[in-house]
Amino acid sequence: MMGEPALVAELDLEDLGPLISQEGLEQLQNKYVQKVRKSVSEWMQKALEVELTDWQRDQEPDIDHEGCYHTSLPTIIAQEIDGTIGEVNPTALIIALADIINFKDPNMLILEISGLLSKYPDIRTEVTMKTFCGRANPTTGALDWVEESEEYDYHQEIARSCYADMLHDKDRNEKYYQGIRAAVSRVKARGERVVVLDIGTGTGLLSMMAVTAGADYCYAIEVFKPMAQAATCIVERNGFSDKIKVINKHSTEVTVGPDGDMQERANILVTELFDTELIGEGALPSYEHAHMHLVQASCEAVPHRATVYAQLVESDMLWKWSQLQPIEVDGNKLRPPPAVVKCAGAPSVCDIQLSQVPPESFTPLGPICTMFSVDFSKPVSSAAQSYAAQFKAQTSGKAQVVLSWWDIDMDPDGNIVCTMAPSWNYSDPRTYPWRDHWMQSVYFLPAEENVSEEEELNLIVSHDDYSLWYSLTHSEQNDVKVATFRPCCTCQAHLVWTRPRFGELNDEQRTESYINALRSVFSLENSGMAKQVIEQVLHANSLKHGVQLLGIRPEQLSLADLEGNQISVLIGEPYFSTSLLPWHSLFFWYCRTAVAQLLHPNATILPCAATLYIVAVEFRDLWRIRAPCGTCEGFDVSPMDEMIQQSLDYRESWEAEPHPLWEYPCRALTKPRPVMTFDFTQCVPEQPANSEGTVPFTGEFVNGAHTGNKVCFSSDLLEKLLGMEEKIFPII
């Protein structure tokens, strides 16, 4: 009625009251929010069920350098919101979610739906945009809420990507350039127009190589938006915008046709989709799709072919990274539980700089075997497959570990080869090209097996679309069954402990230093899974009556838990599953402070103190992962340098990075210097502690400013009891 002009004269709008009273409006709003809350609660419960199933898998979840586990729950929530928000008022949805998850501030939820804000601007007008990251503090054990900007995630992704390492890999770049030139020449010799498809273009380097080599046009696909933007800028700066089209999509989403992303199918396929395991970045599914939908049947691929190699070895050093070993101390043998002994171990590959593993630390039991090859110029299958290499054992020993690497032929004749073989496999190790984005792999057999010299063996490699795994048979049978599922951990120990942790636990001298004659030890372990593993160890060694496991946090401990007794000895390694940086071990200090009221006045604290050391070093190679490139193979890639530096400056440049420095040779430029000591016999001080000073350089620079600060942590056990110093792996 109010919209009808003819009624204006008959109605006085000021005399009209609201169609719905304020009370009625509030009732409707409350009813609406209740319905939204119920709906959201139902699919949230489903999301949690999916998450629970995910966390109960045998595979250990990924973890970042701050100790945070990766979880699919935020993605599930965001997808549910994306499908619901068109039908539900955004504010009501945010309020309902905040209520269900018990967030005091609904703004915190914007962290998980930041991508939707640009899609639904009305949320921005009603909720201030903030990003809060819940971070587990490995040092204090507390959950800290840290406010971040909207761009935090992609800055972190760029900063940790180590793209610069690939640009500094001269051997890789030269081989790709040679292979691309050869492929363009072969297609031109057939009288065809050269159309190149570059999947995973990154900086656009390979596309620019192709155009420079004579390609008529190039489609460069990059799924990561910031990288696609950088590639567009680099292509434009080098003057190739008219011949290179950057497509910001996953290759499986690219369309071909008059109205598609590509006008025609390509006759040259250029990719760099490989990782240390060759197929871990989804190379097989991507190639499979490309041959079906994006390239011509007669296409040339660069690289043309990949070949995987492996060698069966015996190595006590490497085997200790995977299996818990019995340890004999003072005539007593500590044995791992049967479930751990029979376990196949962690399913993930162990990728390392194999060149830094001394050849004398392992014994080859067979030759280097060619396991399988993939021809990328022909249709590729991502289906699970197995291959076998038959050989006679070169010597008797224990088959424990498989060392593996791959190479790629850039041309069909195999004249242009880029190999990942370790330096000790080169005729002249000095010619070995260092790279950190492609290394070598160590695979642990499900169980060690005795082999005899001259015995016929079958080394079997199996793969799905993303992973490889190895097994061994003593049969002369050539038929190999396809292994549908790879071995995985069934004992939980490999889900709780990392490979370096297994190495620590298998260190007899290290373990000996912690042996004591206590009649009873009270042990705190607030990780449910770790508690189960420790219970297995105690049961296997008949120690359950001497050790009581309490599945609670230190601040929850009471005299009742200790059966009325005060703590006379407080002992820790210290080791915590969340620790990545040396000072994370200071969590022991916070635990000690939390139980201070329960300590006997003369209680012994082990370790009693810790000292932080630093030393400046010059790296032979590791500096490349952070160094700007400027020009690569004659192309200006400085926009990439600028993007990386911007992301590093955002946060990463002032945070320490954990690195296994035994893999990266370096030269000390200063003497190790203690910079701070922490007294565990006292509680954590309330005021922050700091230390300042200078460290004189004692060495000369050889390669300029390729330096870093090496930081290590030393915890001192009580000298009168153990008399040794515990060293923790250093970081930079």
Residues with catalytic roles: 272, 281
For residue 331, is it left (φ>0), alpha (ψ between -120 and 50) or beta?
Answer: left
DSSP string, 536-579: HHHHHTT-TTTEEEE-S-GGG--TTTTTTPPEEEEE-----TT-
In the DSSP assignment, the letter for residue 481 is -
Name the strand (E) or helix (H) holding 291. Answer: helix 283-293
Q: Residue 487 has which token pair?
A: 């071995």
User: Cα–Cα distance between 635 and 654 in angstroms, integer?
Assistant: 30
User: Cα–Cα distance between 611 and 675 in angstroms, integer?
Assistant: 7
For the four alpha carbons of 391, 394, 395 and 400, in that order, the dihedral sign comes to negative
Beta pairing class for 195-199 and 217-221: parallel
For the chain, the C-alpha Rg in angstroms (whole number) is: 30
Residue (of 263, 270, 180) closest to 221 by Cα position: 270
Do you find a cis peptide bond into 359, omega within 30 degrees of 0? Answer: no
All residues at 6 or more sequence positions from 244 whose CB lies less than 8 Å from its CB, including other chains: 204, 207, 208, 211, 217, 218, 219, 220, 235
In the DSSP assignment, the letter for residue 325 is P
User: Cα–Cα distance between 647 and 136 in angstroms, integer?
Assistant: 22
Burial zone of 636 (CB within 10 Å; 0-12 exposed, 13-18 middle, 19+ buried): middle
User: Cα–Cα distance between 199 and 211 in angstroms, integer?
Assistant: 15
All residues at 6 or more sequence positions from 693 whose CB lies less than 8 Å from its CB, including other chains: 673, 675
Beta pairing class for 295-302 and 635-636: unpaired
User: Cα–Cα distance between 272 and 199 in angstroms, integer?
Assistant: 7
User: Cα–Cα distance between 50 and 23 in angstroms, integer?
Assistant: 40
In the DSSP assignment, the letter for residue 300 is E
Beta pairing class for 332-334 and 385-392: unpaired
User: Cα–Cα distance between 466 and 348 in angstroms, integer?
Assistant: 11
User: Cα–Cα distance between 317 and 648 in angstroms, integer?
Assistant: 36
* Sole residue written with tokens 């350098």: 65
Beta pairing class for 143-148 and 385-392: unpaired
